Amino acid sequence: MSARQVIGLRDTVLAIGVAAAAALAMGFALASASTPANFQSRVAALETRDQQARNLMRPSAAGSVYPADAICRGDPSVAAKGLRDNLAAFATQANLSLDILDARPETDAGSQGALAPVRLRFTVTGPYESVVMLLSALSRQRPDVFADGVDLTSKTSNVTLSFSGRAFCSV
């Protein structure tokens, strides 16, 4: 036989089988080495968190988060006038000095959503109890007023309340 013997079909199939078995064994070895510790428990924890997130994203059975009258329906300028008139009446009734009162619809060219914000800013001065009564009356106001900033400054016998917030109207 010469140095370059012809390899038979049986030897070729055997060589390919050994190479495939070695590749398969190496693949299993690398897969098991690359799997982190506690892999199954980590996957189970992720599935649990995923299910919790899906449950939180579902709409609540009780309906909307806010009551139906929390957001005004219709023209925001009418809501702004109502907020201004109600706040002036509350301040007069509580014997408070209304220094600044501004209630107007915000016009933001960038937002074309279904809600139109109505900006409310005011500053009142008077006795602490009267200011608390005003805030209590404001909390019962419809549409709901959401506070952006509230600053209560104590004077000698009075306090000054600076309030900035928004109400929302669907348009």
Q: Are 129 and 79 in contact (CB under 8 A)?
A: no
Q: What is the pLDDT along the chain (171 residues), one digit of tens a residue?
A: 454 566 788 888 898 999 999 999 999 888 888 877 888 888 899 999 999 998 888 765 555 666 666 787 778 888 889 899 999 999 999 899 999 999 998 876 555 567 889 999 999 999 999 999 999 988 888 888 889 999 999 988 899 999 999 988 887
Tokens 């992720």 found at? 46
| Residue appearing with tokens 């080495």 | 33
Q: Which residues contact 86 (CB under 8 A, 6 or more apart)?
A: 141
For residue 153, what are the β-bridge partners? 160
Q: What sign for the dihedral angle of Cα 124, 129, 135, 136?
A: negative
Whole-angstrom distance, CA of residue 107 vs CA of residue 98: 25
Taking each continuous run of H as one helix and of E as one strand, the counts in the chain are 4, 5
Measured distance CA(116)–CA(101) in Å, rounded: 20
Q: What is the DSSP string of 11-44?
A: HHHHHHHHHHHHHHHHHHHHHHHHSPTTHHHHHH
Residue 77: how many other CB atoms lie within 10 Å:
14
Q: Residue 131 and residue 122: Cα distance in Å, rounded? A: 12
Whether the pTM exceeds 0.75: the reply is no
Tokens (6 digits) for 77: 């300028």
C-alpha to C-alpha distance for 145 and 54, rounded to whole angstroms: 31
Please name the CATH architecture into which domain 68-170 falls: 2-Layer Sandwich (3.30)
> Are 106 and 166 spatial neighbours (Cβ–Cβ below 8 Å)?
yes
Q: Residue 3's pLDDT is what? A: 46
Distance CA 165, CA 87 (A): 13
